[in-house]
Structure 1
């Protein structure tokens, strides 16, 4: 389950499911506390209330100890990237939803759902809705979440994550093919 591709459940929506070790409370801090969120996704605060601000300060080079050259395609991210959003649902430690500024005036919405899964494990369900319509962006978002979630699993397990871009770029090709196959049907 932890290596499965995200599933495009409807136009503009991708869903992932991952099993993580630990309790919902332990995983929750990786979603909401900047110190932990910075280890797998981005630095930045999540105000713990509906209407609160979510800040993402992306710097993928900080996610691994290994050298991770930035691909030419993503050179515009060399100085990092900041994105903001607004919390739309906050039910600690079960559901966190927030908008994500896509720079198009519309934005998208990300939802994390946590539920107990056996002894000391958590099922994380991530749903990203209102994605941009172009295939390249969707493939990048799919590969991005897939990579970030792999890093999250490593962080929760106290393992050194693999370099972001070394994992992301091959996955992006796989997501391009998945999207192409969906378009062919």
Structure 2
């Protein structure tokens, strides 16, 4: 397992269609849970969207990555200014675990675990069968979690799109190795 105390540690492939990435956030556990479940806090690092935390409940994630950092960097060609995706809650064990669908086939699980005064924040994205999507979501989770760590620690995040582009190149090399 990658040392999660290392800033910007990469995604790890648990199998060919499942990636895992971990970060340490400042606690307490409820604070980290709110960054995941409260739309106004989640939009600061990932995507907005009101959630009803009940199994089977649908919700929409709305990405506006230009709003994650100042400056945002240059959006890559082919990426819209805004992206929307309908998800469905699969499992809730507040404030430790949240699982929801990601598009039609994939699933994302968030696990939060106390580590002293910190919280181990784990993202497991499974059933990613397309290599191009795997590259995008690997770089995406890495860049989004870098923003979350910066915000949770009261720091200004670096340029989102510039970071994402750099990470995508890195993940292309890693996944080809």
TM-score normalised by the chain length of structure 1? 0.89
Q: Do 2:89 and 2:99's aligned partners in 1 also have CA atoms closer than 8 Å?
A: yes
Give the deviation of 1:108 after TM superposition. 0.5
- Aligned with 2:176: secondary structure? helix
Give the deviation of 1:67 after TM superposition. 4.2
Q: Do 1:54 and 1:98's aligned partners in 2 also have CA atoms closer than 8 Å?
A: no
Moved over 3 A (4+): none
Q: Which residue of 2 aligns with 1:83?
A: 85
> In 2, Cα distance between the equivalents of 1:148 and 1:3?
11
Paired residues for 1:35-50 under 5 Å: 35-50=40-55
When the two structures are aligned, how many residues end up with a matched partner?
Answer: 172
> In 2, Cα distance between the equivalents of 1:55 and 1:22?
27
| Structure 1 or 2: more helix by fraction | 1
> In 2, Cα distance between the equivalents of 1:129 and 1:18?
18
Q: Which residue of 2 aligns with 1:19?
A: 24
* CA deviation map 1:24-52 (0-9, x unaligned): 10010111110000000011112111111
Give the deviation of 1:22 after TM superposition. 1.5
Q: Which residue of 1 aligns with 2:143?
A: 147
Unaligned residue ranges in structure 1 (runs of 5+):
none
Give the deviation of 1:160 after TM superposition. 1.3
Unaligned residue ranges in structure 2 (runs of 5+):
none
> In 1, Cα distance between the equivalents of 2:168 and 2:97?
28
> In 1, Cα distance between the equivalents of 2:23 and 2:72?
26
User: What RMSD, in angstroms, separates the aligned Cα atoms of the two structures?
Assistant: 1.2
Q: Which residue of 2 aligns with 1:52?
A: 57
